[in-house]
Chains A and B, each alone.
Chain A
């Protein structure tokens, strides 16, 4: 088991290094050397501090080393545009907001998606399944911003059930969470349906039936237990987007989360902020992927025990 984790961690670190390096190179190779252009706009004192800190007068290679040194210390960088604001500050302030919205959405997606998917799988080709499948296709095809727009238009504007913009009260969570949940629901439902159908056709389900296992017990202990294991992979992808994966919706609803800040940084061309946040997102994403692999191993005894022997 340890060897298994170890290997994943090593690959994770390598991936992160690749991403960081590529990001650094790409941004610094942008035509017109946007970095120095931005720096020139700052007041003199600030400019000197930054130039000294990042060694902007030095060669790219030396700048890279400085950058990596800072990174290892945990310093993700400072904004080139808003003096005194560092990436770490922004993350500390905005990440929890994103986390709450996305987290809620994931919980709903998981619960509703698993439920619908199981029903669709168990009642295959019957009415319930057909209806669910149509809903799923429609959800997949509607981009999140369209959902958001529809919600804003009808729920907030026409029916005045929630405020159109703003943040701070629980009511402000309603529209974004609904929009996010509907968007991601389809994936869980589809996946769970296919997983359930696969399991229902397995031999061991026939064995269980021949034992006299009741329908309820069959679904709980035999079908669900096996069908939900592959969902862990999907859960991992969702969790990886916990802090930054929802930028469209955050921008749309004006939520002060990490995602919308990232979009703003791109629109402002605040390059060091962009690099710093990118590194954060990538690192978190990789971390979650590793956690998911471990969780999968724990859930599926075939993997757990085989790996343990190694």
Chain B
């Protein structure tokens, strides 16, 4: 059952150097209780996309195009007033951010910061809310919650702060949790713990999760569906199996190739995709990936490819899928490590 539908999302930023088209027509949906991962390199527009859903982009430079539509169940979000959006943020859709060290108010106690959500959206008094907060801290795995509630953020470690952030986000049991690179700033072992926590909470509360990340390893563990973004567009989308075992877009291939695998021969070079994404102040007329694609064809430079349905929900935007294009036999090296989608 669909709870979120994004149609033709276009976001641009007015800078002194021109108009930067960060997101250029992105469409996707999210089903109840599922985990959708949005992957791509820095600058591909995944964070801008996620922040646009909640409309927390800084508004003078950022502009969401009129044609864009975002539906939360049956409500259209881009036309809501500020006041209505405020009612949705934190209660129906929540977000957690990348850097736990700077994402919490240093002069407010942790308990109060979590309670704030509850007080605003559920109208409870501070004292009542604090009770809920203690339970929440317990739920996210922070030991000794009664004492921790009165402490300040700088008294928490990085991992614990991220747990507190998760508590804030889930305080009002939202339908959707947007996690923007939640583990990038953490140690590897803590990363695993936090992802475990998100997974278990999601099951418990039946929250749908949009996970924005550039780390494919994390994605394999938790995602139901994956969409790959490049230069402000979605280039491929599908279930976890589709993407890892039957990828169809050259960019997806490049991403998969660059993940170091166990069992690779010693001393073989790590693969890295050459070049950088195109400048979106002046987007290229053809396919945005053409300049870095070893399978680039003449048509790729002239016209942007449309979306091709491959199989069920699996789609990709690439000229190689056109009936007239040559067949590329992309062999999927088995993604060892025993992870299954």
Report whether B97 and A212 are in contact in the complex, using a CB–CB cutoff of 8 Å: no
Q: Which residues of B contact A221 (CB under 8 A)?
A: 105, 108, 116
- Decide: A206 near B97, CB < 8 A? Known: A301-B152, A302-B152, A305-B155: yes
**Of all chain B residues, which has the CB nearest A304?**
B152
Q: Which residues of B contact A209 (CB under 8 A)?
A: 56, 89
0/1 interface trace, chain B 116-129, chain A, CB 8 Å (1 if under) = 11001100000000
Check B103 for interface membership: any CB of A closer than 8 A. yes
Check A202 for interface membership: any CB of B closer than 8 A. yes
A84 to chain B, nearest CB (A): 54
Check A169 for interface membership: any CB of B closer than 8 A. no
Bound: A297/B325 CA distance, A: 69
- Most B CB within 10 A of own CB, among A209, A210, A306: A210
- Decide: A204 near B102, CB < 8 A? Known: A210-B54, A210-B95: yes
A-B contact pairs, 28 of them (CB 8 A): A206-B56, A206-B103, A207-B97, A207-B105, A208-B105, A208-B116, A210-B90, A210-B97, A211-B117, A211-B120, A212-B86, A212-B87, A212-B90, A212-B120, A213-B86, A213-B90, A213-B120, A214-B120, A215-B82, A221-B108, A226-B105, A226-B106, A300-B106, A301-B107, A301-B152, A301-B154, A305-B152, A305-B155
Hey, which bits of chain A sit against chain B, CB under 8 A? 202-204, 206-215, 217, 221-222, 225-226, 229, 300-302, 305-306
Q: How large is the interface on B (under 10, 10 to 19, 20 to 34, 35 or more residues)?
A: 20 to 34
Check B99 for interface membership: any CB of A closer than 8 A. yes
B325 to chain A, nearest CB (A): 43
Q: Which of B91, B152, B165 meets A212, CB within 8 Å?
A: B91
A226 to chain B, nearest CB (A): 6
Report whether B104 and A204 are in contact in the complex, using a CB–CB cutoff of 8 Å: yes
Interface pairs A-B: 6 shortest CB-CB: A212-B90, A212-B89, A211-B90, A203-B102, A210-B95, A203-B103
Report whether B102 and A202 are in contact in the complex, using a CB–CB cutoff of 8 Å: yes
**Of all chain A residues, which has the CB nearest B155?**
A305
Report whether A203 and B107 are in contact in the complex, using a CB–CB cutoff of 8 Å: no
**Of all chain A residues, which has the CB nearest B121?**
A212
Q: Which residues of A contact B87 (CB under 8 A)?
A: 212
- Decide: A207 near B120, CB < 8 A? Known: A212-B87, A212-B91, A302-B154: no
**Of all chain A residues, which has the CB nearest B88?**
A212
B113 to chain A, nearest CB (A): 8
**Of all chain A residues, which has the CB nearest B85?**
A212
- Decide: A207 near B152, CB < 8 A? Known: A212-B86, A221-B108, A302-B106: no
**Of all chain A residues, which has the CB nearest B99?**
A203
Hey, which bits of chain B sit against chain A, CB under 8 A? 54, 56, 82, 86-91, 94-95, 97, 99, 102-108, 116-117, 120-121, 152, 154-155, 165, 168
Q: Which residues of B contact A226 (CB under 8 A)?
A: 105-107
Q: Which residues of B contact A306 (CB under 8 A)?
A: 154
Bound: A212/B154 CA distance, A: 23
Report whether B103 and A204 are in contact in the complex, using a CB–CB cutoff of 8 Å: yes
Bound: A207/B87 CA distance, A: 15
Report whether A214 and B86 are in contact in the complex, using a CB–CB cutoff of 8 Å: yes
Bound: A222/B153 CA distance, A: 14
Q: Which of A204, A210, A213, A215 meets B106, CB within 8 Å?
A: A204
Report whether B107 and A207 are in contact in the complex, using a CB–CB cutoff of 8 Å: no
Report whether A210 and B56 are in contact in the complex, using a CB–CB cutoff of 8 Å: yes
- The DSSP consensus for interface residues of chain B is mixed
- Decide: A207 near B168, CB < 8 A? Known: A212-B87, A212-B91, A305-B155: yes
Bound: A305/B150 CA distance, A: 12
Report whether B102 and A211 are in contact in the complex, using a CB–CB cutoff of 8 Å: no
Q: Which residues of A contact B103 (CB under 8 A)?
A: 203-204, 206-207
**Of all chain B residues, which has the CB nearest A210?**
B95
**Of all chain B residues, which has the CB nearest A207?**
B103
Q: Which of B90, B107, B155 meets A225, CB within 8 Å?
A: B107
Q: Which residues of A contact B94 (CB under 8 A)?
A: 210-211
Q: Which residues of B contact A217 (CB under 8 A)?
A: 120
B116 to chain A, nearest CB (A): 6
Q: Which residues of A contact B86 (CB under 8 A)?
A: 212-214
- Most B CB within 10 A of own CB, among A212, A217, A226: A212
Bound: A225/B113 CA distance, A: 14
Report whether A207 and B91 are in contact in the complex, using a CB–CB cutoff of 8 Å: no
Q: Which of A206, A211, A301 meets B116, CB within 8 Å?
A: A211
Given contacts A207-B105, A210-B89, A212-B91, 16 further A-B contacts (CB under 8 A): A203-B102, A203-B103, A204-B103, A206-B97, A206-B103, A207-B104, A208-B116, A211-B168, A212-B121, A213-B116, A215-B82, A226-B105, A229-B107, A301-B154, A302-B154, A306-B154
Bound: A306/B97 CA distance, A: 26
A304 to chain B, nearest CB (A): 9
Bound: A204/B108 CA distance, A: 11
Q: Which residues of B contact A208 (CB under 8 A)?
A: 105, 116
A211 to chain B, nearest CB (A): 4
Report whether B105 and A301 are in contact in the complex, using a CB–CB cutoff of 8 Å: no
Q: Which residues of B contact A301 (CB under 8 A)?
A: 106-107, 152, 154
**Of all chain A residues, which has the CB nearest B55?**
A209
Q: Which residues of B contact A300 (CB under 8 A)?
A: 106-107
Q: Which residues of A contact B154 (CB under 8 A)?
A: 301-302, 305-306
Bound: A213/B87 CA distance, A: 9
Report whether B104 and A212 are in contact in the complex, using a CB–CB cutoff of 8 Å: no
B44 to chain A, nearest CB (A): 20
Bound: A206/B108 CA distance, A: 15
Q: Which residues of A contact B82 (CB under 8 A)?
A: 215
A222 to chain B, nearest CB (A): 6
Q: Which residues of B contact A215 (CB under 8 A)?
A: 82
Q: Which residues of A contact B117 (CB under 8 A)?
A: 211-212
**Of all chain B residues, which has the CB nearest A208?**
B105
